[in-house]
């Protein structure tokens, strides 16, 4: 495959200037799933593309409350500079997008380099790029998509739901018609494809299904869709939260991650084995299941994620898989006569907006490919709600709950050689330090205070 030519920064600037763009925001996602950014004047973009924008190395150890932890030995002082370089296109991903909902501004995702231009070990984008390259070496391309849940509220000091339900109803969406129309237009203008939009199960909740694409573009799209939704909500006097939990008793928001493999232009998970799987498909699903405790410590890592992980909420509370079983942490979505043979994919339920999308995709790809490589054995699916079983029945079936405490999740994270290999020791150390800092903050606050503190972070 020939390399795609990187567009000239000067050509990009000329195009942006003709479109009235005054500033370009360069964004990245930290280890808490929070989008951070720098905005530069459009005319400065060529210089920034060459030398980057300076940011502190401490961003790798910011926690969810904007505290800085120095518990990670590799970043134990406030010293150090990193260069944030915009990905203008050509090296994978989305490139520059003129923002429909923020006139005069454009968005581009960035990579973090060391001052000499080398790969910084804490750059999350580089972690995903490595896994995409390894998949290609194994003969596969990865396709991935997100289902994105959000709670829509009225702007104001108090948390005021924007729609009254019922769940999945036209009546609910009618309360936010103007927002829906604006959002659909802005998504299309920003080049973001979605399959559907509907009122979800939770209070004042809405979901969109983001189109599947390659992993780097999807991670960039996931970041851009947040900006697009927030801007559309603001224009209509609304406020949106993607937080894993927005109230102590609510359903919470998942960002369910769907993945599949293709080879020679065909879905490699689809086959003639039981449940419509190929040998590759069985290995891929088995690899995800095998690594699940460590995976979810990356794909749903926050204190809010742990609060959301409850039986009966379709949040993936137990480590098992099922065919179209929405209570399963891993849900196989098989091909069918109506959908066609290329539809087979695996949905990870224990995934939310507090995950860094580049890291989440990286560990999922690595786990699935390891299962294919090893010929990992796939147990029988479970088609019931195991939350209704007693402990003895779950134990007999080899089904354990996924972590609901920081101590449990930390142990699973550090016990996973695969996660350590994907992230590397430096990034894993910073990631764990962030989780420890969040847990220490939560230990000094009530559950209500934890939920409130995260509500508008995402």
> What pTM, to 2 d.p., does this model score?
0.96
What is the count of structural domains for the chain? 2
| CA angle centred on 204, ends 212 and 304, rounded to 5° | 70
Q: Are 56 and 168 in the same domain?
A: no
Spatial separation of the C-alpha atoms in residues 242 and 153, rounded to whole Å: 11
Cβ atoms of 228 and 142 within 8 Å: the answer is no
Q: Is the dihedral angle over the CA atoms 311, 313, 319, 321 positive or is it negative?
A: positive
Q: Are 49 and 143 in the same domain?
A: no
In a domain, 156, yes or no: yes
pLDDT, position 4: 52
φ, ψ of residue 160 to 5 degrees: the values are -115, 110
Spatial separation of the C-alpha atoms in residues 243 and 41, rounded to whole Å: 31
Q: Are 62 and 190 in the same domain?
A: no
Owner of token pair 């995800």? 288
- Give how far the C-alpha of residue 407 lies from the chain's centroid of Cα atoms, to the nearest Å: 23
For 294, the token pair is 């460590």
Q: Are 42 and 152 in the same domain?
A: no
Q: Are 66 and 144 in the same domain?
A: no
| CA distance readout (Å), 206 to 245, 321, 390, 439 | 14, 26, 33, 29
How many CA atoms lie within 13 Å of 61's alpha carbon, on the beta-carbon side?
A: 23
Q: Are 215 and 354 in the same domain?
A: yes
Q: Are 112 and 137 in the same domain?
A: no
In a domain, 126, yes or no: no
Residue that finishes a domain, picked among 120, 153, 173: 120
Q: Are 365 and 417 in the same domain?
A: yes
pLDDT, position 2: 42
Spatial separation of the C-alpha atoms in residues 4 and 92, rounded to whole Å: 8
Residue that finishes a domain, picked among 120, 151, 186: 120
Q: Are 97 and 194 in the same domain?
A: no
Q: Are 113 and 185 in the same domain?
A: no
pLDDT, position 156: 76
Spatial separation of the C-alpha atoms in residues 204 and 164, rounded to whole Å: 6
pLDDT, position 157: 67
| CA distance readout (Å), 246 to 31, 36, 307, 398 | 20, 21, 10, 32
Spatial separation of the C-alpha atoms in residues 392 and 390, rounded to whole Å: 5
User: Which residues, in sequence order, are CB contacts of 369 under 8 Å at separation 6+?
Assistant: 131, 134, 135, 138, 140, 284, 287
Segments in the chain below pLDDT 70:
1-5, 157
In a domain, 428, yes or no: yes
Q: What is the CATH classification number for the domain harbouring 215?
A: 3.30.590.10
In a domain, 32, yes or no: yes
In a domain, 3, yes or no: no
Q: What's the residue count for the chain?
A: 458
In a domain, 4, yes or no: no
Full residue range of the structural domain in which residue 198 is found: 131-454
Q: Is the dihedral angle over the CA atoms 397, 260, 255, 303 positive or is it negative?
A: positive
**Angle 292-299/279-290 helices, nearest 10 degrees?**
70
Strand-strand pairing, 23-29 and 105-113: parallel
Q: Are 76 and 163 in the same domain?
A: no
Q: Are 140 and 105 in the same domain?
A: no
Residue that finishes a domain, picked among 120, 148, 164: 120
In a domain, 257, yes or no: yes
pLDDT, position 1: 39
Q: What is the CATH classification number for the domain harbouring 50?
A: 3.10.20.70
Strand-strand pairing, 238-241 and 160-161: unpaired
In a domain, 1, yes or no: no
């Amino acid at each position: 495959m020939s390399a795609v030519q990187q567009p000239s920064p000067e050509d990009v600037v000329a195009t942006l200037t003709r479109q009235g763009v005054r500033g370009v925001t360069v964004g990245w996602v930290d280890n808490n799933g929070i989008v951070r950014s720098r905005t530069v004047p459009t005319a400065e973009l060529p210089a920034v593309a060459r030398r980057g924008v300076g940011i502190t190395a401490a961003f790798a150890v910011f926690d969810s409350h904007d505290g800085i932890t120095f518990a990670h030995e590799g970043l134990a002082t406030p010293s150090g500079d990193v260069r944030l370089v915009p990905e203008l296109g050509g090296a994978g991903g989305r490139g520059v997008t003129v923002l429909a909902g923020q006139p005069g501004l454009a968005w581009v995702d960035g990579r973090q380099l060391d001052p000499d231009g080398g790969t910084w070990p804490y750059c999350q984008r580089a972690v995903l790029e490595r896994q995409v390259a390894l998949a290609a070496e194994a003969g596969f391309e990865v396709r991935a998509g997100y289902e994105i849940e959000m709670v829509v509220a009225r702007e104001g000091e108090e948390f005021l739901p924007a729609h009254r339900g019922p769940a999945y109803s036209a009546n609910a969406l009618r309360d936010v018609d103007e927002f829906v129309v604006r959002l659909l237009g802005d998504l299309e203008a920003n080049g973001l494809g979605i399959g559907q939009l509907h009122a979800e199960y939770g209070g004042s909740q809405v979901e969109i299904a983001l189109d599947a694409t390659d992993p780097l573009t999807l991670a960039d799209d996931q970041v851009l869709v947040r900006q697009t939704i927030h801007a559309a909500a603001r224009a209509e006097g609304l406020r949106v939260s993607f937080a894993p939990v927005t109230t102590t008793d609510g359903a919470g928001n998942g960002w369910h991650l769907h993945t599949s493999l293709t080879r020679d232009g065909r879905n490699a998970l689809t086959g003639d084995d039981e449940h419509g799987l190929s040998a590759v498909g069985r290995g891929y699903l088995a690899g995800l299941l095998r690594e699940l405790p460590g995976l979810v410590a990356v794909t749903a890592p926050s204190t809010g994620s742990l609060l959301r992980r409850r039986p009966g909420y379709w949040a993936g509370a137990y480590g098992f898989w099922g065919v179209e079983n929405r209570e399963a942490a891993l849900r196989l979505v098989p091909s069918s006569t109506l959908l066609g043979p290329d539809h087979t994919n695996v949905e990870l339920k224990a995934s939310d907006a507090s995950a860094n999308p580049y890291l989440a995709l990286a560990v999922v790809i690595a786990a699935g490919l390891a299962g294919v490589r090893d010929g990992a054995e796939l147990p029988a699916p479970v088609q019931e709600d195991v939350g209704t079983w007693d402990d003895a029945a779950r134990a007999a079936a080899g089904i354990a709950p996924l972590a609901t405490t920081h101590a449990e999740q930390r142990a699973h994270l550090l016990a996973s050689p695969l996660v350590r290999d994907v992230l590397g020791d430096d990034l894993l150390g910073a990631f764990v330090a962030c989780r420890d800092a969040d847990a220490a903050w939560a230990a000094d606050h009530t559950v209500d205070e934890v939920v409130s503190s995260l509500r508008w972070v995402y």
